[in-house]
Amino acid sequence: MINNNTSNYDILISDFDEHYFKVDFPGQFDKKMLDAVRAVPGRIWNSELKIWMLPLEFVENGKSSTTALLENLYATGLYNFSKDESGNTKKVLPHVPYQKSISKMKDMLQVRHYSKRTIECYLRWVKEFLEKYGRNGTDGLGQKQINEFLTTLAVKYKVSPSTQNQALAGLLFYFRFVKGKNPIELESVIRAKKKPRIPVVFSRAEVRRVIEYMPVEKRLCAEMIYGTGMRLNELIELRILDVDFDRSEIIIRHGKGDKDRRVMLPQSLIPKIKSQIENVKKLHEKDLADGWGAVPLPGALAGKYPGAEKDLKWQWLFPQKNRWKNPNTGEEGRWHMDGTLLQRAVKSAVLKAGINKNSSCHTFRHSFATHLLENGYDIRTVQELLGHNDVKTTQIYTHVLNRGPSGVISPLDNM
């Protein structure tokens, strides 16, 4: 917490996930505070949680995002930061009494082989909970505080039932396995009832229009999501070795639920994907010439295959434009494309195409499944391609039965 003893202009800075930290304004608000956050490049507004997210690894002119934020806040005149001997603003770090519990929970999730994204989500919700209720200790926490927290999510932040249940799952894991509380004591916690929703779907003509309005450098991404049905994070985490041209398939590794699966490789995209790989090769050769070119490898592969992190086959299929730099070590690397950039591009393309639908990158996935069913493919095939555990999840796409000349005919049309 950063505060000023003479005002209520408090700013709460805390961890979010391994790529971002979050900034919140719990007290009195001044527009200068908002401008200070907005002036940090790479910041993202999370509309669901009502918080600002700032990248941990962003570096500009040798400054990290945290340093840039603190300097911006100092310039507002609302705070009295102390300076070190070099004249740099000292970082104000709050005491976190529950940090050991968070570390223990992370270890337990990893031992049980939870997916990376599930671990990030669970830890984020538990941190949110403990920041609110656990600053004076966690011994007295239980069902009452869980219900209050979930109610706040639903009433104040208006999160979806799935998000609320995700938060509950993370909290239950914490209480059952980290705190060792009897699960029976937690059976009366609030569980949100998920309501069936019809997915937003593009028509084939709308898909073509949206892709036409996509920026050239991101058009292939949209085509691959629609052409394979993969999720956004599955697309941006593809590596070159995941594309098998001989078998005409793409291998999706560590998808939702940490599952691998295969999807078809659209034949019309083969020349474009090969061209993209050539572009990545040139970029990778430049990185190697500059003394860098290593990418993080999954699991323990870095130890198993020394030097593999610089092989072309392990490079991201869609790398980020600029190399990031570690301000502490000076090491430079290249991560995959930021998914938010693709989301914004799709939103813009939808507007330019004149489509009045609440759509996103995920709409391409919905359209993929719907159009396959319209073409006569059986639901089990679509289930496998989408990576659903239960066919009931895939059944939301059976709304196609009410569409087209082969759909259900209204009795009014037969009068």
Q: In what order do the strands lie in the sheet containing 51-55?
A: 12-15, 20-24, 51-55, 44-46
Residue 216, amino acid: V
**Taking 90 as the threshold, does the pLDDT of residue 254 lie above it?**
no
Q: How far is CA 105 from CA 16, 89, 100, 305, in A?
A: 15, 33, 9, 29
- Higher per-residue pLDDT: 399 or 231: 231
**CB-CB contact of 56 with 21 (8 Å):** yes
Burial (CB count within 10 angstroms: exposed 0-12, middle 13-18, buried 19+), residue 125: buried
Average pLDDT for 264-275: 96
Q: What is the share, in percent, of the chain residues with pLDDT greater than 70? A: 83
Report pLDDT digits (tens) over 136-157.
777 778 888 888 898 888 888 8
**Taking 60 as the threshold, does the pLDDT of residue 84 lie above it?**
no
Report pLDDT digits (tens) over 320-365.
988 877 655 677 888 899 898 999 999 999 999 999 999 999 999 9
Q: What SS3 class is residue 407?
A: coil
Q: Please provide the DSSP assignment of 257-304 as one string.
A: TS--EEEE--GGGHHHHHHHHHHHHHHHHHHHHTT----PPSTTHHHH
Tell me how far apart the alpha carbons of residues 111 and 178 are, in angstroms, rounded to a whole number: 13
Write phi, then psi, for 298 (nearest 5 degrees).
Answer: -70, 145
Q: What is the share, in percent, of the chain residues with pLDDT greater than 90? A: 38
Report pLDDT digits (tens) over 119-137.
888 988 998 898 888 777 7
- Any idea which residue has 């392990």 for tokens? 314
Average pLDDT, the chain: 83
If phi over 0 gives left and psi between -120 and 50 gives alpha, with beta otherwise, what is residue 230? beta
- Residues with catalytic roles: 231, 256, 362, 365, 388, 397
For the ranges 88-92, 197-201, 277-281, 321-325, the one whose mean pLDDT is highest: 277-281
Q: What is the pLDDT of residue 88?
A: 54
Nearest to 43 by CA among 25, 26, 65: 65
| Tokens at 346, concatenated | 């799709």
**CB-CB contact of 200 with 366 (8 Å):** yes
**CB-CB contact of 315 with 333 (8 Å):** no
Tell me how far apart the alpha carbons of residues 32 and 52 are, in angstroms, rounded to a whole number: 15
- Higher per-residue pLDDT: 325 or 7: 325
If phi over 0 gives left and psi between -120 and 50 gives alpha, with beta otherwise, what is residue 87? left
Average pLDDT for 42-52: 78
Q: What is the pLDDT of residue 80?
A: 59
Q: Which H/E stretch holds residue 153?
A: helix 143-155
Q: What is the pLDDT of residue 5?
A: 45
Could you count the other beta carbons within 10 Å of the beta carbon of residue 204?
11
pTM: 0.70
Work out the pLDDT band at 92, boundaries 50, 70, 90.
very low
Tell me how far apart the alpha carbons of residues 9 and 14 are, in angstroms, rounded to a whole number: 16
Q: What is the pLDDT of residue 6?
A: 43
